[in-house]
Amino acid sequence: MIVFKCQSTKIKVLKSSSKNNQSTKIKGSYEK
């Protein structure tokens, strides 16, 4: 359950970081 919550938060952060293309790219790579 905690892991799932962490994932949800990560997705939210990723969407929030949509402005930073580089940051989003790095985060997307890390998530995958």
If DSSP states are collapsed to H, E and C, what string results for 16-27?
A: HHHHCHHHHHHH
If you ran DSSP here, which 8-state letter would residue 12 be given?
Answer: H
Q: Which residues fall within 8 angstroms of residue 15, CB to CB, at 6 or more apart?
A: none
Give residue 10's pLDDT. Answer: 74
Q: What is the pLDDT of residue 28?
A: 59
- Give the SS3 label for residue 11: helix
pLDDT single digits (tens) 13-31: 766 655 555 655 665 566 5
Rounded to 5°, the CA angle 20-17-12 comes to: 165
pTM recorded for the entire structure: 0.29
* Residue entry with tokens 């905690």: 2
Per-residue confidence (pLDDT) for residue 19, from 0 to 100: 59
> What pLDDT shows up at residue 12?
73
